[in-house]
Every structure is written in C-alpha cells, then in structure tokens.
Structure 1
C-alpha cells in the first residue's frame, strides 16, 4: 500500500478543513487529486507528507504508520513538487545544484556530492531535455524550466511516491504540454514512483493516471478508476453546473453546457 488514509479529519481553530477522508493508493496506481480552490487538497498533502498532524484518523504511507516511525526518514521516500517549494529555493543557485540538493531534500547544497550523485543528476537533466540548463541560475529560468528542474530534484532521491502539486500553474500551452509529456515519461518507467497529481483542470489528467479522487469541501466526493469518475454526469454533479465533455488523445476536455453558458 502506497497511501492508506483512514477516517482522517483536520480542524483549524473551529473550522473543519478535512472531514472523514478515506483513501487508498496501491502499488502500480497513479492518481489525480481534483478539487476546486479551498477543497482541502493542500491540507491533505501536508498530512500525507507528515507536515500536519490530523485531528482524527490514521495515516500510513509506504507501509509506515504515522505515529510509530520517524517522519524525517519517511519523507526521504516522498518527492514533492509545489509552488511553495519553488518560492523557497535560492535564486542564485544553478539548476544543477538544485537537482543535486534533492538527494538530501535540503534547500541548498551543503555537502560535497558523491560522484554517483553527480552522474545521476546529469542523467536526470539529460533525460528531461534540460542538460542545457545545468549551469544557469534558477532566477534565469522560465516557469516551465523551473518546474522541470524541480521534478528532476524530486526524483534525485529515487522516491517511491512523487506528489506533483498543480505543477502546470502559470505555464503557457506549449510549456504545459511539454511538462505533461515529461510526467507521462516518468509514469511509464517500470521502476518509477507512484504518482499523485494535483489539479483543478480536468484536461491535465493524462491517460497514465489510472485513478482519480474528487475532493469537495473537505470530503471525498468520488474516488475510483478515472474512466468511471470523469463522466459527464459525475462531473456535472461535482461542479454543480452542466458540463460537456470532449475526449481527445485519451484526455477529457470539458466546457460548460449550453444552458449554463447562456446564463
């Protein structure tokens, strides 16, 4: 079991952010986590990564029951790419040093890397078409290039679980599709990590994502195989408006139904 969340609740002050979350991610599955702003997606990620403790419930990640293990050790097997992380990285660091820092999951590089780590970092940059960025400072990278470097950094420690928190935010169409192609490449690796991809854009859900969880107002609205979850009827109920779906290249592209659009 990659993720096993049982009856998890989380309250902040008097507000319930997550309410009775049950979710299991098994070996060989790649999941999309979909929800509108304020649905509790980031809070759930923080709990899975061990940075927030639930008010109630049980969490196990990679067969480690939280509360009985050293979370610092568990996190070494979890890669996490998020906008919040991007904001914390040193702007003057080169892309190569940022990728290398993923080996110890530190912000910055504080120890001399082993030769095998140097070679693996170079391989990651080359694999994702970023070798030309090696010596460029982070501040000189485009948004799309930054995201690719962050994903390479997250893979540096060879994680068993890779969480991608809205990685396409702020990207133009071409950069988004390039990044999605990179993610599909990761998902196709037989020894690659389990993926959890977070978004509120349905069209970003690639065919490699076998399962989808719909999160609404802090509760699991629906979870299961993507083909059963991303239906016109299900999404119309989820968003509370009439939705039309067009399918192309194994992806679902949605738009408002005619009646809703007229309003």
Structure 2
C-alpha cells in the first residue's frame, strides 16, 4: 500500500481540521485531491509527509507506520511541490536553476551538503527534460513563473521518488503556462516507472487523463473517494464546491460549469 489512513483526525488549537479520514492509495493508482478552500487538502498532505501529527488514527506511507519511522529518511522517497516551497526559496533568488534542482537530493532548501558529479549530471538531465536547459545556470529570480514551477518539479523528481505530491502546482500561472505544465505532468505519468501522484487542486479541469482516482473533501471529511468517473459527477462536485455545477468530459478531462440557474441567481443579486 502506498498510503493507508485509518480513522485519522487532526485538530489545531482545539479546532477540528480533519475528521475520521480513512483512505487508501494502492500501487498503480494516480490520485487527485479536490475540495473547496478550507476543506483540509493541505492539512492532509502535511499529515502524510509528517509535517503535522494526527490527533487520532493510524498513518502508513510507503509501508512505514508513523511513530516507528525516520520521517527525514521517508521524505527522501517523497517529492513535494507546493506554494510554500516557492515562498521558502524567495530567500534564495540568486541560486542557479540547476542548484535548485539538485537541492532535492537532500530534500533541503538550498545546497548545504556535498553533491556528487552524478547528482549534478542528473539535475542537468532533468533540466533538459523539462525544457529548462536554456536557463539551467540562470538565477531563480530570472525564471518565469512557468519555469520556476518546472524547476521545482524537477527538484521533486531528482531522487526518483516513489510518491510525488503536487499541491496547487499551477497557482499563479496563466492559461498557456498552466497547460504546458500539465502536459509535462501527463508526460511523466505515462512513463513506465512513474511515481504515484497526489495532485491537489481547486479546479476539476486540471484532472488529467492519466489520473485514475479522485478524493473529494468537504469540511475536513471524505465526501467521496474512488475512480474519477464515479466521483466526478455533477451532484458530488456541486456538493463539494458548494454551488450547482454541470460536468462535461472532453479529451479525457472533466470541465465544470456553473448552471444557468445559478448564473441567473447572480444576475438577480441572490
């Protein structure tokens, strides 16, 4: 089992954030996690990566049960891209793109330990595969938003992780840059030894053809979990996101629209 959560709850300052979460991710599955703001998506990721600790329940990741595992060593088997990672690198804007990528070897912010020649070559190979060879030695500050996102994804992939977490990886991107990054994710997922993916988003249309399953969260609880065709229905999506929606499928992706009735309600000031 890649991830196994049994009756997991989490609270902060005595406020319930996640309640009674039971969820399993099996080898070969690729998951999207979808929910409105405040539904508990990022808190769930922090529990899975050991940056927060559950108030109750049992968590197992990559066969290791929390409470009896070296979390730092486990994190080396997990790649994670998030807005918070970008924020932490704002103190290192002068760092070359290739160094940002190679810092993933030790899961550090910046390069603080010895890097082997093989590590450096792997970083450059990842830069090429992401279309970043022209900025490999440019400082982070000179990269576009799309290039920064690709650099952080390459950083997450440098240790060939068994689990890859992309937390709102397209935030801040325009439509063109978003679609280019999503194409990169789809290409990665079609490789023979692709990592298991957890793709966290607010936007159903970012759920790619190679993503097989969806976890829907609502107010800290599991609303639905299973194959995407069964979970991404108009009724469930509407309940999760809190407004009437329709779902249409095109090119293997779900496209969600507000219903005409809802649009009329907005026009009337309702």
Q: TM-score range by the shorter chain?
A: over 0.9
* Shift of residue 237, structure 1, vs aligned partner: 2.9
Query: C-alpha distance in 2, partners of 1:31/1:68?
Result: 26
Query: C-alpha distance in 2, partners of 1:70/1:40?
Result: 25
Query: C-alpha distance in 1, partners of 2:16/2:239?
Result: 23
Does the 8 Å contact 2:35/2:241 carry over to 1?
no
* Shift of residue 233, structure 1, vs aligned partner: 2.5
**Unaligned residue ranges in structure 1 (runs of 5+):** none
Residue 175 of structure 1 corresponds to which residue in structure 2? 177
Query: C-alpha distance in 2, partners of 1:241/1:174?
Result: 27
Does the 8 Å contact 2:104/2:159 carry over to 1?
yes
Query: C-alpha distance in 2, partners of 1:194/1:256?
Result: 32
Question: If the length of structure 2 is used for normalisation, what is the TM-score?
Answer: 0.95
SS of 1:238's equivalent in the other structure is: helix
SS of 2:47's equivalent in the other structure is: helix
* Shift of residue 191, structure 1, vs aligned partner: 1.1
1:215 paired with 2:217, answer: yes
* Aligned counterparts, 1:154-233, within 5 A: 154-233=156-235
Question: If the length of structure 1 is used for normalisation, what is the TM-score?
Answer: 0.98
Corresponding residue pairs, total: 263
Residue 74 of structure 1 corresponds to which residue in structure 2? 74
Residue 146 of structure 1 corresponds to which residue in structure 2? 148
Query: C-alpha distance in 1, partners of 2:72/2:39?
Result: 27
* Shift of residue 231, structure 1, vs aligned partner: 1.4
The C-alpha deviation readout for 1:53-79, integer Å capped at 9, x for no partner, is 100000000000000111111111010
The C-alpha deviation readout for 1:77-106, integer Å capped at 9, x for no partner, is 010000101111111101000101111111
* Shift of residue 133, structure 1, vs aligned partner: 1.3
Query: C-alpha distance in 2, partners of 1:112/1:46?
Result: 28
The C-alpha deviation readout for 1:220-259, integer Å capped at 9, x for no partner, is 0000000111112322233343212222111111111111
SS of 1:73's equivalent in the other structure is: helix
SS of 2:99's equivalent in the other structure is: helix
**Unaligned residue ranges in structure 2 (runs of 5+):** 266-270
* Aligned counterparts, 1:233-248, within 5 A: 233-248=235-250
Does the 8 Å contact 2:215/2:224 carry over to 1?
yes
Query: C-alpha distance in 2, partners of 1:35/1:129?
Result: 31
Select between 49-58 and 236-245 the one with higher mean Cα deviation.
236-245
* Aligned counterparts, 1:61-140, within 5 A: 61-89=61-89, 90-140=92-142
1:260 paired with 2:259, answer: no
1:46 paired with 2:37, answer: no
Query: C-alpha distance in 2, partners of 1:67/1:240?
Result: 36
SS of 1:151's equivalent in the other structure is: helix
Residue 6 of structure 2 corresponds to which residue in structure 1? 6
SS of 2:29's equivalent in the other structure is: coil
